[in-house]
Structure 1
């Protein structure tokens, strides 16, 4: 029984994300992940490079970043050296560089990565959740919006709390902490480390509306803050679309970390810390950051990069990634294992919608135009 919310979905490319799975970029990706994991909380390089004598300054810089999740008790897992999970959120509060006219506009979390760190197995797992993943949006663990939307809209609807809970419900995992970084602070961060070096994959130009565009030529380039922001934002002229943009963003993040840990940066480390702390919000207290640096560093030697593979689909003119139940279950099993939890069969709104559609003939295994229906709550409850 279909309802008025029936929508047409056109199946997209069924191959896994080339930006992550490419054999040609595998070595570079592994190198980036190792560097990033070592500096996952930024504090890693702040303490590791500058020494514990600077803890007081570091603590001062990070004190304003702390924002706990409402109604949640502080996690004791890090203090007890247990496996932990962290949701990394990259938020952009502008549309193509133009800040929204709404005073309270929060933006969407266009980057979402679930990170698990296990000190027992000395392993770190990074699971990317595509921003267009179809998901039911939750505000709290007991209050959902009854909306099926792109998962990146959760932040705009209910800030970090909603992003955390929506991801927990989608994958049936607990998330202990979040770290949110405002993408629009990239200019300041890059300038504070003296610019970054990147290898431009192809020539293009891009710039914010009303500003002179930055010009990029294929090959190695040194970018200042504004150039790095433009380089990270361009999407429509990239042959790989948003996957290509994500790859360039990872390039810039990796370059920032390398520059921040260099000897030249030591002389102005305070400006680096200030630029980072101005753009970051986290539910992780400073003492947990210290403990994680001391007790979890071994996990940086064994890094696993993964992502949820959906099917590129157009729903009412918008691009979605519809993740099959098998893929959601795979991601859930993997993350739960890293957290020391047993497997559990997923039973959420997304898997119910998949089941109802498959019962009506929708086949995730064929590359054809098909109708995927967004059913009512009553229908998915059956």
Structure 2
């Protein structure tokens, strides 16, 4: 064999080595991506997915497939009372891909309404304690005269774990206050998990009472959406999904979530927040928020895109 032939073979060998290394890296990343994908799919479908009788699955799937506007009920449950506790936060999230917009409408927990399935007038947040997610869905649909497509129920303490995993979230604080541990200044504030819980639960120092509290809850939801969409490290996906699997339930399955990601991801570009308005009153020694028919019609129009 000539020296020239040996040099030629040597060059080919050195060319193959980086190609093999690149191949190994690509295969490694691919295997990791597949493991993440499989873990997410398994967690969503086996731990988080909870269908409900009050929402027709076939109808919602058709709307999702056609990329139509969707309406989702968000329930934040008081962790200390367990999964059958009262809903500490109650919001209607509407996603409209036709104009890439998102609406987040809070329903104050003291809102007096008919609890569907129980037949009595009570605070709307009691619906979950009386009859779980199904009763909450039916009661909100009856109050606003709308049809909900999906729901997401979150253990409120799970918010703390989720925020810590994301790092921090940023909110625009409107009033300065101190809870003895944390100082919350006016303006943009970065919150860790514990600070997030303090931020959403404070009410006594807020001149707007529960209205201010629900406003902060909406800010936290928006902060989580924005931070979650911007987190670049794929290594956080498994740990984040594990936290959600332990603290969240929804009638969305994994295929639904993939369609949300592909067809509705840009709706977060234009977020509008609102809170159902009413007047406070005391009936038999219990405080309620009374909402007029005009206000209900206004909110229904917002959700259906008529306003």
Asked if these proteins are the same fold (TM beyond 0.5), I'd say yes
How far residue 69 of structure 1 moved from its aligned partner, in angstroms, is 0.5
CA distance in 1, matches of 2:202, 2:262: 38
CA distance in 1, matches of 2:99, 2:190: 38
2:83–2:155 contact (8 Å) kept in structure 1: no
TM-score by length of 1: 0.62
- SS of the aligned residue for 1:161 comes to helix
Larger radius of gyration: 2
Unaligned runs of 5+ in 2: 1-31
Distance 1:191 1:301, change over 3 A: closer
Q: How does 1:102-141 map to 2 (within 5 A)?
A: 106-138=84-116
Deviations along 1:274-331, one digit per CA (max 9) or x if unpaired, are: 1122211111121111112212234444443333211122222322111111111222
How far residue 127 of structure 1 moved from its aligned partner, in angstroms, is 2.5
CA distance in 2, matches of 1:302, 1:228: 23
CA distance in 2, matches of 1:167, 1:238: 26
Higher relative contact order (CA 8 A, sep 6+): 1
1:177 equivalenced with 2:150 (yes/no): yes
CA distance in 1, matches of 2:271, 2:53: 31
1:188 equivalenced with 2:161 (yes/no): yes
The residue aligned with 2:176 is: 202
The residue aligned with 2:39 is: 57
What's the Cα RMSD here?
3.0
Q: How does 1:256-271 map to 2 (within 5 A)?
A: 256-261=224-229, 265-271=233-239
1:330 equivalenced with 2:295 (yes/no): no
Deviations along 1:220-265, one digit per CA (max 9) or x if unpaired, are: 7654433332332221122221222233334444444454455575
> Which one has the bigger helix percentage?
2
The residue aligned with 2:204 is: 236
TM-score by length of 2: 0.76
Unaligned runs of 5+ in 1: 1-49, 95-99, 139-143, 207-213, 344-382
CA distance in 2, matches of 1:298, 1:254: 14
